[in-house]
A and B are shown apart, each in its own frame.
Chain A
Amino acid sequence: MIKARITVTLKNGVLDPQGKAIEHALSGLGFDGVGAVRQGKVFDVELSGTDKGKAETDLKAMCDKLLANTVIENYAVEIA
Chain B
Amino acid sequence: MKSAVVLLPGLNRDRDMIAALTKISGQAPATVWQTDTEIPDVDLIAIPGGFSFGDYLRCGAIAARMPVMRAVAEKAAKGVMVIGVCNGFQILVEAGLLPGALMRNTSLKFVCRQVKLEIANANTMFTRRYQPGQIIRSPVAHHDGNYFADADTLARLEGEGQVVFRYAEGTNPNGSINDIAGIINERGNVLGLMPHPENLIEAAHGGNDGRALFEGALGIAA
Residues of A within 8 A of B (CB): 14-15, 17-18, 21, 65-67, 69, 71-72
Residues of B within 8 A of A (CB): 57-58, 61, 65, 94, 99-101, 103-108, 146, 148-150, 175
On whether the beta carbons of A67 and B148 are closer than 8 Å, the reply is no
Describe A's contact surface by its main secondary structure: helix
On whether the beta carbons of A17 and B65 are closer than 8 Å, the reply is no
On whether the beta carbons of B58 and A15 are closer than 8 Å, the reply is no
A71 and chain B: residue at smallest CB distance: B101
7 residue pairs from A and B, CB less than 8 Å apart: A15-B175, A17-B108, A65-B65, A66-B61, A67-B57, A71-B100, A71-B101
Chain A residues within an 8 Å CB radius of B150? 71
On whether the beta carbons of A69 and B105 are closer than 8 Å, the reply is no
Cα A18 to Cα B65 in complex, Å, equals 26
User: A67-B57, A69-B61, A69-B101 are contacts. A17–B149 as well, Cβ < 8 Å?
Assistant: no
User: A14-B103, A17-B108 are contacts. A66–B57 as well, Cβ < 8 Å?
Assistant: yes
Contact among A17, A18, A67, A69 for B94, CB-based, below 8 A: A69
User: A65-B65, A66-B65 are contacts. A17–B104 as well, Cβ < 8 Å?
Assistant: yes
Chain A residues within an 8 Å CB radius of B61? 66, 69
Cα A14 to Cα B57 in complex, Å, equals 18
Cα A72 to Cα B102 in complex, Å, equals 9
Chain A residues within an 8 Å CB radius of B99? 71
Contact among A17, A18, A66, A72 for B101, CB-based, below 8 A: A72
On whether the beta carbons of B149 and A71 are closer than 8 Å, the reply is yes
